[in-house]
Structure 1
Amino acid sequence: MILLILIVLTGCHKRSGLQIDDPVPVVSLQDFHGRSLTLPQDLQGKTMLIRFWSLECGFCDKEVLLGLEQLYQKYKGRGFVPVAVNVSKIDPNDERLQRFEHLTYPMLVDERGLVAKKFGVIGLPTSFVIDSEGVLKGKITGEAGLDEFEKLFTAVLK
């Protein structure tokens, strides 16, 4: 009986998704224009904030994506780059995308959610801070203000 209880309890403590100090998986995605980017290699040496979101997500504050551009401009000289990963199919002619055309950081598409799954994303939005070595250093599940994102990634910047 005790053995059965231990097996059940051990099963309840399985790690789900990436944990702090885990190396992130190597993934390749395309941006809204069909250009490919491989993470973390193509941004090696940079501190990344990877935000998983969806254009269809009612809980995803789209204004955060615009605010990340301001933080990118403020910190890119110190090695910071945000990466937005839309977890759904994108119609390039969707008028809602026009508000993001001026963003200069990578806006990637994960149509089938396979990359989100590799990262252990169980809900949107979810954001990860990855250090310059490709190691997870922070995670925010759900929405957060730009000041919270800034505190999280600036603690990792060298």
Structure 2
Amino acid sequence: VLGGFLAGVAALTASSAQAMDLIDDRKAKQNGFDIIYEARDLDLTQAERDGMAQIRQNLEAAKSRIAESEKRVDSVLESYVSKAYWTEGRNELRRQVGTLRFDINALADTLPKAAKKDVLAAKAEFLAAVDKLDFAMRKKNQADATAALEKTKAALDNVIAKLA
């Protein structure tokens, strides 16, 4: 019994207390690091769990995503069309349009009624141009795709101008 007691005392004295390292993760949380946990929190609304409310609250992030999408349509998508990389081009187009559709709606919701109507009409023209571009890429028609890309870029520039 005494041997067990001495072994326990020796184990307690050998394990000294160590300092805890505290990490300030407020910046990571602010940038959305913990969104995965919010997705599982049933006390939040569905829009907050999906991440939809975060972009609507941070309009600067929506504006920067629109600028990034415009840049990618102007450069990356144009290179895919010129090189006849049809599958990659269609994937890139759909990726950017999915983001643009949501961000344009988020910014349009902040505008007065008449301006919002103009933006949504311009967005409809942009989406019609995107459909024509997608169809031309699906048909693998270089001339039609190039012309449709120019119309799509002009329509996107029109939407962005109305948002400003």
Task: Give the TM-score taking structure 2 as reference length.
Answer: 0.24
Structure ranking higher on relative contact order (CA contacts 8 Å, 6+ apart):
1
Which protein has the bigger strand share? Answer: 1
Larger radius of gyration between Structure 1 and Structure 2: 2
Task: Give the TM-score taking structure 1 as reference length.
Answer: 0.24
Which protein has the bigger helix share? Answer: 2
